[in-house]
Structure 1
Amino acid sequence: MLKEISAGGVVFRRRGEQLDLLIIEDRYMKISLPKGKQEPGETMEQTALREVKEETGIDGRVVEPLEVIYYQYYHPQIGPINKEVHYYLVEALGGELTPQIEEINKVTWMEPDRAWAVQMSSGYENNHSVMDKAFTLLNLKKGNLS
């Protein structure tokens, strides 16, 4: 079975006392995190930062690793694929929010309580623990849905 390795991140920014998280809605109308396939010669961190930039327009820096998740999906032309995704906590350094329209419907900054709520209600279940780890590292409260 084919194995695919990707990397991505939970992206945050600070504006004074306010902290926001970057949330994307993918082409399947699900809440997700920016991620994508590793290219030859890239480290996982480089992949994560490139994918954040490509999918959202945001430049960032890796703060620290969050989690590696594993799942399987079915590709119509290839068949079942084992997926491994390395997620990092990424601090936004600049750039303009620009969704990669081939991959995602929209990208937006959200306050943490709203980001947690949309992840729990409309996000992929395998991203719940990734968000949880980011909230812990950023010392954020998760609201009523935790």
Structure 2
Amino acid sequence: MKEVSAGGVVFRQQDGETYVQMIQDRYGKITLPKGKMESGESVEQTALREILEETGIEGRIVEPLETIRYQYTMIGVGLVDKEVHYFLVEATGGKLTAQVEEIRGVEWLLPKDAWYQQVHNGYGNNDSVVKKALIKLGYEVK
């Protein structure tokens, strides 16, 4: 079985600073907003819808970042080939609100803090996605 999802690294500019959005998932891990593609959607539409649903933030896609692929086992289904399309997304509106049915929390972080959280509390397969986004936003990542 194949499953396609999409999401993004969401950023905003405020008072001369850049902030990056990170979420805490239901397992307590730091991650990015993402979700499954619905029938008739493009990956871009899926990314923007999922960001809005999970975080309350409306956005516009700046550019694609990366597509990651992995496998996991689903009870009753078996092996699932997962493909996640990530985009760099600029926040354009909305109110930051966590979708409590899906995630534990969401917050805006300075880029250095977002990178620290990703490296220490995030999923390893998101490291390159966050790193690419921060570099595109003009931040050096070590």
Measured on the aligned residues, the alpha-carbon RMSD in Å equals: 0.8
TM-score, normalising length from structure 1? 0.94
Alpha-carbon deviation of 1:21? 0.3
1:8 maps onto 2:7 in alignment: yes
In 1: Cα distance, 2:4 partner to 2:14 partner: 33
1:68 maps onto 2:67 in alignment: yes
Aligned-partner residue type, residue 139 of structure 2 = L
Moved more, 68-77 or 42-51: 68-77
**SS where residue 45 of structure 1 aligns?**
helix
Identity of aligned residues (%): 56
**SS where residue 119 of structure 2 aligns?**
helix
**SS where residue 35 of structure 2 aligns?**
strand
Residue in structure 2 matched with residue 37 of structure 1 by the alignment: 36
Structure 1 residues 101-135: Cα deviation after superposition (integer angstroms, max 9, x where no partner): 11100000001111000000010000000011101
Q: Where does the alignment leave 5 or more consecutive residues of structure 1 unmatched? A: none
1:83 maps onto 2:66 in alignment: no
Mapping of residues 1-146 of structure 1, within 5 Å:
2-142=1-141, 146=142
TM-score, normalising length from structure 2? 0.97
In 2: Cα distance, 1:77 partner to 1:104 partner: 24
After TM superposition, which residue ranges in structure 1, 4 or more long, deviate above 3 angstroms? none
Alpha-carbon deviation of 1:33? 0.3
